[in-house]
Structure formats: structure tokens, C-alpha cells
Amino acid sequence: MALRDHPAHTCWLCGRPLGRRVEWHHPVPKSRGGRETVPIHPICHRTLHAVFSNAELARFEAEGMPLSAHPAIAKFLAWIANKPPDFHAPTHRRR
């Protein structure tokens, strides 16, 4: 889904409804010239930055590759799918 087509009331990464806390993610990191932001759950935002470096996020966006194609993100999305909008759990950094 193109960013401009994304409904503002759902999370850019998981597609679940947003809860009380909303963060704003730069699909192209600010350090790589990104300006556009998208709404995202805090847990989804932390997971993205735990799995990917800014360079990797920029590469995914530039190549048009869906983040959900990455095994760690696909596993996270399957796990988070039925959680309530304000669900929170610790996020572990990549090893």
C-alpha cells in the first residue's frame, strides 16, 4: 500500500487500529533525507528499529520491498495481529 493511501487511523506496519498512544515513523529515516511520517503503534515502532538499521530501512523503502517480507517482522506481525491497540511488551534488540 502506498503511504499516501494509508488510513491515518490504522498502524502503518501492522494495520491494526491505533490506540491512545501513537508515534510517527519516517519510512525513509530523517538521517537519509526522509520527511514523510506515518502513524504507528509504539510497539511496532520499537520493533522496526530493533530489527533494522536506518540504512536498512532506507534500502527497503528505496527498493519498494515490504518490511513484512523480512522473517523477523513477519513473525512479529503474526504475533501482534490479535492484540489490543494499546498492547505493550518489552522489545528486544537484535543480536
pLDDT tens, 3-30? 444 556 899 999 999 999 999 999 988 8
**Mean pLDDT value across the chain:** 87
pLDDT of residue 71: 95
Which is higher by pLDDT, 33 or 3? 33
User: What does the block give as the cell for 30?
Assistant: 530523517
User: What does the block give as the cell for 13?
Assistant: 506496519
Query: What pTM was estimated for this model as a whole?
Result: 0.84
Is 14:77 a contact under the CB 8 Å cutoff? yes
Is 5:38 a contact under the CB 8 Å cutoff? no
SS3 at position 49: helix
DSSP output for 28-48: S-GGGT----EEE-HHHHHHH
Whole-number Å distance between alpha carbons of 18 and 94:
25
